[in-house]
Amino acid sequence: MKETITKEKAKEVKCFHCGEDCVDNEIRIDEKVFCCNGCKNVYLILNNNQMCTYYSLEEKPGVSQKNHVHKNYDFLDDETIQQKLVDFSSSNFSSITFFIPQMHCSSCIWLLESLYKLNNGIKNSQVDFLKKRLTVNFNPTETKIKNIVQLLNSLGYEPQLNLEDKEKETSQEQTKKLYYKIGIAGFCFGNIMLLSFPEYLSITQTESQNLNVLFNYLMLLLSLPVFFYSANEYHISAIKGLKKKIVNIDVPVSLGILILFIRSFVDIVFYNQAGYLDSLSGLVFFLLIGRLFQNKTYYALNFERNYKSFFPISACVIRNGKETTIPIEKIEPGERMLIRNNEIIAVDSILIKGIANIDYSFVTGESSPVTIKNGDLIYAGGKQIGTAIEVESIKNISQSYLTQLWNNKAFLKQKESKVTSLANKVSKYFTFIVLFIALSSAIYWSLKNPAYIWIAVTSVLIVACPCALALSTPFTLGNILRIFGKNKFYIKNTAVIEELAKIDSIVFDKTGTLTEQKNFTIEFVGTNLTDDEKILIKSTTRNSTHPLSQKIFNSINTKYYQPDEYYELPGEGIEAKIFGNCIKLGSQQFVNSNNFELPKDYYSKVFISINNVVKGYYKISNNYRDGLKLLFEQLKRNYSITILSGDNPSEKNNLFQMFGLAKNIFFNQTPYQKLMYVGSLQNAGKKVLMIGDGLNDAGALKKSNVGISVTENTNNFSPSSDAILEASSLKKLSLFLRFCKTGEKIIIASFVISFVYNLVGLSFAVQGLLSPLIAAILMPISSISVVVFTTFTTNFFAKKSGLI
């Protein structure tokens, strides 16, 4: 060493803006320390506008700016794109809604609602935190969409622009409709019960006869909106089912409601009796509440993503030596494009200029980047890592490899309509048995006393209305949905839970699912490195964009210097001169360390030589997530497990040691092969659960009976799936699966309760003794008892298995 290099340990300082560690040269301003210039700039913007309230609401509320990419938003000046983005536009007032995944605390809400202080054109802005949406109202003559997006980007809240995000409003509308229906049903239910009180207390004085008639007709009037509006979905669904010759759960429900209404109508109009309208409206009210309970949606999550939602909206093209940004639909073959670091190539292209390290992990699952030579083909969906490159498109977007792949029939195949749920299965038998009992009682009374036929038959159909049957499923599954949500396992809808209970085979993707995406173990094998040598290595790797170099750079905690000479040979290694020392990093051949003894394993290795002395190599491997070994032991008892990996077999031995699944591990799997594998299991009559994380698993996730996508951050991209599981909860998977089975058992138990209640009710009904009073007591009691039973037992078992 020609110069002594002093050691300096960086103190544990946290960034004032985002709370991350400040590693190297500390950036200070106003006595405050920042981890990067990006964070400092945000602070300056806020400070100059007297908006430091942002920092007083929450501790270190900012979004880290370390990986902040300054993007070109010129494409937002394009008229067609603007029209797709805005909700409403007029000459001096426009409104636009952004999806902002980064918002996470009250400071974010405060800042995003104070945008008008930073841009005079913005009138106001409103946050919907659970949906992570920001609605901005602005004056288009004073500011442009581009300026608003740039402002958000400079504050660290880069909006996710998606031109196909306008369809999600339908669920909102449906929820509103359900609220209307519940409101109306509840209102009518309450008032009808009040009007029924004379009947309950059997007040039938002769002088109040007129009043009774008035009450009865009022009840009839109040029941009309319940029957025709609140309950209409049950009727529609029942008719649809019958048209397809399916007796679903809505058939007996709708039949029961219909008979209740007709019987009450006849009683009121012809016999001047009270009828069963309180039972009718109460039943509809409870059913709708059950539906609401089942309808929990995770707004901020997207279960229906396809490749388009992770593609860029625009590309930077070079025309006549000038850079312009155009929407990707407009890219023609032969277009010169500039691809910057971490940008995704939208169409198949040929490399013209620059060093291309393409990360295809989204497409294939292979985690290490591919080096591309000039003139070689780059497929759409690859991500450039490193310096900017120039490419020339050879196809347009619709004909690119990836788009073609996802438009393949296998991927487009809709899942066969969900297997009939348990309630639907039972309801079929239930309906026929009830009809049989009604018929037999009709025959019995026709022989004994024909006047009773009408009463007995309608009573049977009224009392056997499967309210308990229809309520047990939504309340049990709705509660499980909530319990899973608390455990960061987000399920698209309740039908998925019933599917999960039937699973018998599980297929795992490896990269990013079993292994952590960002964490890895890095270990140096060879002669011990001195601190000075470490500084040399860190300084060398600093200039390289290769992922392995960056991992080494981040693993060494020292200072670094600018190398005097630096040379990178793509795909081989780096050579650098620092203070007269010559350092080589790279492959075995590059470092001339062929005589170095190697253990037979498949780790990625980076060899180091300093002044032509081989020091050893860095062994880099992915970390497996916590608790997997235990998880696999639990799962192996009840399920057949397969691991599919798009990666090379470098982790083979590791996997065998960890999971001991010698037969069922496959490497180098293309997305299509994964899909076919899931299909082959299904053809063998298996119910397959697929667990993956990237676009390369999208086909298999779609094909499987249940597809779960694992993600480390729910804001990140996740392919379309039935459920989204936060990676930290992957170890609980066997608990989740077992709990789904418990849920099934709870539903069956509540069917038994419903059966007992029906037995009691029918014994009254066949004798023609079902007075409105008995119905008014029996029906709510059965409904409420089922709701209480299911909620209580699911919570009890969740506590028992540690999910609450």
Residues 644-683: x/- map of binding to another protein (CB under 8 A)?
----------------------------------------
User: 């001047």: which residue's tokens?
Assistant: 272
Q: Does 744 bind another protein (CB under 8 A)?
A: no
With respect to another protein, which residue has the nearer C-beta, 299 or 596?
299
Determine the Cα–Cα distance for residues 295 and 291; give it in Å rounded to an integer. 6
Interacting stretch for another protein, rule CB under 8 A, among 128-136, 150-158, 258-266, 410-418? 128-136
Which parts of 178-237 interact with another protein (CB under 8 A)? 179-180, 183-184, 187, 190-191, 207-208, 210-211, 214, 218
Taking the C-alpha atoms of 638, 644, 648 and 651 in order, what is their torsion angle to the nearest 10 degrees? -20
DSSP string covering 394-427? SS-GGGSHHHHHHTSHHHHPPPPSPPPPHHHHHH
Find the binder of another protein among 41, 45, 60, 110 (CB under 8 A).
Answer: 110
Determine the Cα–Cα distance for residues 303 and 689; give it in Å rounded to an integer. 16
Find the binder of another protein among 13, 57, 410, 676 (CB under 8 A).
Answer: 57
Find the binder of another protein among 74, 78, 128, 532 (CB under 8 A).
Answer: 128
Tokens of 655: 């996997």
- Asked whether the beta carbons of 672 and 651 are under 8 A apart, the reply is no
Determine the Cα–Cα distance for residues 171 and 772; give it in Å rounded to an integer. 38
Shortest distance, position 478 Cβ to another protein, whole Å: 17
Determine the Cα–Cα distance for residues 348 and 381; give it in Å rounded to an integer. 8
Shortest distance, position 129 Cβ to another protein, whole Å: 4
- Asked whether the beta carbons of 45 and 155 are under 8 A apart, the reply is yes
Shortest distance, position 163 Cβ to another protein, whole Å: 23
Q: Longest Cα pair distance anywhere in the chain, in angstroms? A: 117
Contacts of 285 (CB under 8 A, 6+ apart): 182, 185, 186, 189, 230
Find the binder of another protein among 37, 49, 53, 174 (CB under 8 A).
Answer: 53
Q: Does 309 bind another protein (CB under 8 A)?
A: no
In terms of residues, how long is the chain?
Answer: 804
Q: Does 169 bind another protein (CB under 8 A)?
A: no
Find the binder of another protein among 83, 172, 446, 592 (CB under 8 A).
Answer: 172
Shortest distance, position 48 Cβ to another protein, whole Å: 16
Q: Does 52 bind another protein (CB under 8 A)?
A: no
Find the binder of another protein among 113, 304, 323, 626 (CB under 8 A).
Answer: 113
- Asked whether the beta carbons of 539 and 561 are under 8 A apart, the reply is yes
Q: Does 89 bind another protein (CB under 8 A)?
A: no
Determine the Cα–Cα distance for residues 761 and 774; give it in Å rounded to an integer. 9
Determine the Cα–Cα distance for residues 312 and 344; give it in Å rounded to an integer. 7
Other CB atoms closer than 10 Å to residue 1's CB: what's the count? 12
Interacting stretch for another protein, rule CB under 8 A, among 18-26, 84-92, 124-132, 451-459? 124-132
B/e letters for 282-300, b = 16+ CB within 10 Å, e = fewer, are bbbbbbbbbbbbbbebbeb
Residues 434-473: x/- map of binding to another protein (CB under 8 A)?
----------------------------------------
Which parts of 547-566 interact with another protein (CB under 8 A)? none
Determine the Cα–Cα distance for residues 453 and 443; give it in Å rounded to an integer. 8
With respect to another protein, which residue has the nearer C-beta, 14 or 131?
131
Interacting stretch for another protein, rule CB under 8 A, among 14-22, 106-114, 157-165, 596-604? 106-114
Bridge partners, residue 706, by sequence: 689
With respect to another protein, which residue has the nearer C-beta, 88 or 180?
180
Q: How far from the centroid of its chain's Cα atoms is residue 745's Cα?
A: 27
**Interacting residues with another protein (CB under 8 A):** 53, 57, 106, 109-110, 113, 127-131, 172, 176, 179-180, 183-184, 187, 190-191, 207-208, 210-211, 214, 218
